[in-house]
Structure 1
Amino acid sequence: MENHRPDGLDFDIIRQLREDGRRPAKTIALALGITEATVTSRINALSEANVMRVMAQRNVAHLKTRLFCFIRVWIRGRSAQDVATDIAAVAGAGSVMLMMGSPEIHITALVEDNDGLLALLQEHIAQVEGVARLDACVTLKAYKYRYDVVVLSSALSLGEPQGDPLDDAIIHQLQLDGRISNREIGRVLDVSASTIRERVNRMLTNRQIHIGAVCDYRKIGFEIAAMAYLQVEPARIKQALKHLMERKEIGQVSAISGSSNIYVILAARSLEDLFSMVRLTLETTPGVIESTVSLVTQSIKHRADLISLVESPD
């Protein structure tokens, strides 16, 4: 199962589950003209091979800690692996990635406000042995957020409780298995199935959560993940954002604070593919002055449970 490579039918099923992770197998079977047993067996095979996982993701807009920040870390006198592992244990440090070259570590953090960011930087990350320099920027607005391609490995983190104990408990069950029945959640939590149904429906209707299929990018044909910081002429930022949002190869586009005013995430099938993206997409961005691209070499921690519901995945 580890080497399971999804085929065309697998991707058809994944597309159905991206839209609605709790869509019944019978409904999917009717839509695709196959048997219900085939749908069930395919979903099980994709899950067992860690290609796909159906899970609940929280919409950041409904959290009290809703300030997305990107932090770049330069290190000295200690291995990047050890420094990143220590940073991953810090509350507030969400995704922690080892990067090729310098800076050696990239962090996506979620904090409540500017004071929270300052505390995270000064009182926690800066105190980790080996951290020599930090550079942080704040996400001003997320324009595109591809939330169905993630890292499904031991680096996956499901985050902390956010408020209502029962909602948190339900979401946790749905993060472990987005297709678990209301009856089974109720049995685990000792709550009626009707209460679970009402809570889940409310959270979906209010866009507090999304339940859908997420895929490990490495298992669906992508070999390289990269991040880019773009410095764009202020007067042409809107044009630049539109240009980047239209490119399917780009998974995330955010306006950020600092000298670089746009942040993007890319996934490529090869180095040649990445080179083409940089030359044909990033370097042709209207008003671009400078672009800095860094390759992800390893995920130490990855918060796949947090999303910005600004765009439905393709």
Structure 2
Amino acid sequence: MENHRPDGLDFDIIRQLREDGRRPAKTIALALGITEATVTARINALSEASVMRVMAQRNVAHLRTRLFCFIRVWIRDRAAQAVANDIAAFAGAGSVMLMMGSPEIHVTALVEDNDGLLALLQDHIAQVKGVARLDASVTLKAYKYRYDVVSLSPALSLGEPQGDPLDDAIIHQLQLDGRISNREIGRVLDVSASTIRERVNRMLASKQIHIGAVCDYRRIGFEVAAVAYLQVDPRLIKQALVHLMAHKEIGQVSAISGAANLYVIFAARSLEHLFDIVRLKLETVPGVIETSVSLVTQTVKHRADLISLVETPG
């Protein structure tokens, strides 16, 4: 199971679950012309092999903490792994990645406001032993956000409660297993299934949450992940965004503050493929002045439960 590679039928099932993670196996079977038992067996195999996980994800637009920022961290006189572990302990650090080269650590942070960002930078990350320098960029707008392809590693974090206690409890159950029945959630929480159904439907309709299949990028054919900071001529930003969002390998595109005004995260099937993406898709961005690319070597923490609903996965 550990080395399971999805085939065409697996991807057909994943596409069904991306649209609706709670779609019944019988409905999927009818759509694909296969048996319900086959669908159930395939879903179980994909989950056991950590290829796919069906889970609830929160839309950050509905949270108190909705200010996204990216923080690059330079290290001195201490192992980057130890520094990253310390940073990962902070609630505001949504993802913490070890990078090849310098800066050694990349953090995606989610805070409530500018004061929260200042506190995270000055009072927390800057105080970690071994941190020599920080550089932070605030996300001005997310234009593309592929929330169905992530790092499904032991570092996966499901975050903290955000609002209504019952909603939070329901979401937590759906993060552990997005296909759990309303009846089972009700049994665990000692609440009626009809109440669970009403709550889940309300949160889905208001786009507070999305429930769907989330795949590990390494298990579906991508071996390398990287982040890029692009400095683009402000007069050509719109053309640059159109260019970047057209490429399926690029999972996230955000306008950010600072000299580099665009942030990109992408995945590649190999180092050769990565070089092609950089040369043919990033360095050809209209108006690009400078491109800085860093490879992810390890994900120390990842908040796969937080998404920006700005794009329907394709």
Query: Does TM, scored on the shorter chain, surpass 0.5?
Result: yes
1:14 corresponds to: 14
**Secondary structure of the corresponding residue to residue 162 of structure 2:** coil
Counterparts of 1:1-314 in structure 2 under 5 Å?
A: 1-314=1-314
AA at the equivalent of 2:259: S
CA distance in 2, matches of 1:212, 1:25: 14
Structure 1 residue runs of 5 or longer lacking an equivalent are: none
CA distance in 1, matches of 2:30, 2:90: 47
**Secondary structure of the corresponding residue to residue 91 of structure 2:** coil
**Secondary structure of the corresponding residue to residue 194 of structure 2:** helix
Deviation at 1:246? 1.0
CA distance in 1, matches of 2:292, 2:153: 27
Deviation at 1:177? 0.1
AA at the equivalent of 1:125: I
AA at the equivalent of 1:159: G
Deviation at 1:248? 1.2
AA at the equivalent of 1:313: P
Which range is displaced more, 285-294 or 234-243? 234-243
AA at the equivalent of 1:42: R
What is the root-mean-square deviation in Å for CA atoms of aligned residues? 0.4
TM norm structure 1: 1.00
Listed one character per residue, the Cα deviations across residues 154-212 of structure 1 (whole Å, up to 9, x for unaligned) are 10000000010000000000000000000000000000000000000000000000000
Q: Percentage identity across aligned positions?
A: 87
**Secondary structure of the corresponding residue to residue 186 of structure 1:** helix
CA distance in 1, matches of 2:275, 2:150: 22
Deviation at 1:150? 0.7
Deviation at 1:228? 0.3
Deviation at 1:242? 1.1
In the alignment of these two chains, the number of paired residues is 314
4+ aligned runs moved over 6 Å, structure 1:
none
AA at the equivalent of 1:211: I
**Secondary structure of the corresponding residue to residue 222 of structure 1:** coil
CA distance in 2, matches of 1:217, 1:236: 31
TM norm structure 2: 1.00
CA distance in 2, matches of 1:62, 1:253: 20
**Secondary structure of the corresponding residue to residue 156 of structure 1:** coil
Deviation at 1:88? 0.3
CA distance in 2, matches of 1:269, 1:35: 32
Structure 2 residue runs of 5 or longer lacking an equivalent are: none
Deviation at 1:249? 1.2
